[in-house]
Amino acid sequence: MPIINVKMIAGRSLEQKRELAEVLTREVVRILNVKPEVVELIIDEYPRENWSSAGQLYSDK
């Protein structure tokens, strides 16, 4: 069972998450030749103050 784990800053719309799930599942099915039912997708969302890049919190940018 392929498991896709997406980590991102919180704030995307439900529609964006639906589209992401649909597209990623479709491509995993195509590439790995598996049924959609076995593809799992987990979206982990983090507040801007819990994510940094280049030593600076996103909430401070």
CATH number of the domain within which 36 lies = 3.30.429.10
The number of distinct structural domains making up the chain is: 1
Residue 55 belongs to some domain of the structure: no
Q: For position 19, what pLDDT does the model report?
A: 98
SS3 annotation, 35-53: CHHHCEEEEEEECHHHCEE
Residue 34 belongs to some domain of the structure: yes
Only one residue has tokens 């030749």, namely 33
Write out the catalytic residue numbers.
2
d(CA 59, CA 61): 6
What's the whole-model pTM score?
Answer: 0.87
Rounded to whole angstroms, what are the CA distances from 51 to 4, 5, 26? 20, 17, 29
Q: For position 60, what pLDDT does the model report?
A: 95
* pLDDT tens, position by position, 1-59: 999 999 999 999 999 999 999 999 999 999 999 999 999 999 999 999 999 999 999 99
